[in-house]
Amino acid sequence: MSAVVVVHGGAWAIPDELAKASVDGVKAAAREGSSVLRSGGSALDAVEAAVRALEDNTVFNAGHGATLNIDGELEMDAIIMDGKTLASGAVSSVKNIANPVSLARAVMEKTPHAMLTGRGANLFAESIGVSTVSADSLITKYERKEWELRKKYMTGVMEEFNLEWAHDTVGAVAVDCAENVACATSTGGIRNKMVGRVGDSPIIGCGGYADNLSGAVSCTGHGESILKVTLARLILSHIEQGKSVSDASQLSLQTMGDRVQSAGGAIVVSPSGQWAATFTTVRMAWAAVEHDVLWFGLDPNEKQEEMLRL
């Protein structure tokens, strides 16, 4: 089988002025993950590389460009998971870290724990030599402007989300030539969230999950809603019952809509290389590399392709 990587840049009402940059960004991240796989890297290496590329891209709500909480500060979350061993690492409410996904991997590989949060996560980063950066270097002019606007005219993060002004999560899933799968998800959360709020992204089984027996998932959407239905694990449970990756994703997102009246998105890959990018929001920027083809889309039912330039 051929290795596959799939990435997303968040499921939300992406405005036209961000559409091209969002698609270009996920395409670049998918190429980055594919390059790792082609050079013999593992699925775990590939999802970390892809998500780092998204965290470094100011278009997306992760790392550089992450959204601000009610106090105008950054609090970022991330998870990474290895489907071969079920090892996972996560961080939540971290500050001054450019690539939370790599810190999450360090939690997985260098501690006996699965998640570190807040000050403890930052102290761990310092202890292993992870460089911190100034908050100003991570906050974009666009985000500061949007935060000021929403703070002036909005009250409550759910109202913001319902008006489709959310600016969402990034993620990646991959399967390598050894049929090992992995996932990674990273986010700045919901704009104007309460201090200390943590959504689905760093929570195992919700924002992401990876298991060589079924597949890997990275989710995106309203965190509190995804948490209620444990979306990532729900998708894999349908796969384990014989559903295709596409049907499992669609059925699970429909369940979330029916039970908690919320929309979202997910990318999925199976150990055999089947993959899907599914969403019930207005748009989701996504891209995938399979064989020598780069697939990508933004609008519902859109699936474009171009030959991968090696």
How would you write 9-34 as a 3-class SS string?
A: EEEECCCHHHHHHHHHHHHHHHHHHH
Considering the domain boundaries, does residue 176 fall inside one?
yes
Predicted TM-score of the model (pTM): 0.95
Q: Which domain holds residue 158?
A: 4-88+141-307
Considering the domain boundaries, does residue 158 fall inside one?
yes
The tens place of each residue's pLDDT in the chain, 310 residues long, gives: 789 999 999 999 999 999 999 999 999 999 999 999 999 999 999 999 999 999 999 999 999 999 999 999 999 999 999 999 999 999 999 999 999 999 999 999 999 999 999 999 999 999 999 999 999 999 999 899 888 887 765 554 444 444 444 557 999 999 999 999 999 999 999 998 999 999 999 999 999 999 999 999 999 999 999 999 999 999 999 999 999 999 999 999 999 999 999 999 999 999 999 999 999 999 999 999 999 999 999 999 999 999 987 6
Considering the domain boundaries, does residue 182 fall inside one?
yes
Cβ 40 vs Cβ 50: under 8 Å: no
- State which H helix or E strand residue 296 sits in: strand 293-297
**Residue 176 has what DSSP assignment?**
-
Q: Angle at CA 258, nearest 5°, toward 301 and 60?
A: 50
- State which H helix or E strand residue 278 sits in: strand 275-279
d(CA 220, CA 207): 7
Considering the domain boundaries, does residue 105 fall inside one?
no
d(CA 229, CA 22): 28
What local confidence, expressed as pLDDT, does residue 221 receive? 94
Cβ neighbour number for residue 305 with a 10 Å cutoff: 12
Residue 150 is part of a domain; what is its CATH number? 3.60.20.30
Active site residues: 169
Name the region of 274 (left: φ>0; alpha: ψ -120 to 50; beta: rest).
Answer: beta
Provide φ and ψ at 89, rounded to 5°: -140, 145
* Residue 273: strand, helix, or coil: coil
Considering the domain boundaries, does residue 98 fall inside one?
no
**Residue 204 has what DSSP assignment?**
B
Considering the domain boundaries, does residue 131 fall inside one?
no
**Residue 165 has what DSSP assignment?**
-
Q: How many domains does the chain have?
A: 1
What local confidence, expressed as pLDDT, does residue 166 receive? 54
Considering the domain boundaries, does residue 185 fall inside one?
yes
What local confidence, expressed as pLDDT, does residue 156 receive? 45
What local confidence, expressed as pLDDT, does residue 168 receive? 76
Alpha helices in 135-260 (DSSP H): 135-138, 141-153, 157-162, 223-229, 231-240, 245-260
116, β-bridge pairs:
91
Considering the domain boundaries, does residue 116 fall inside one?
no
Amino acid, res. 104: A
What local confidence, expressed as pLDDT, does residue 157 receive? 45
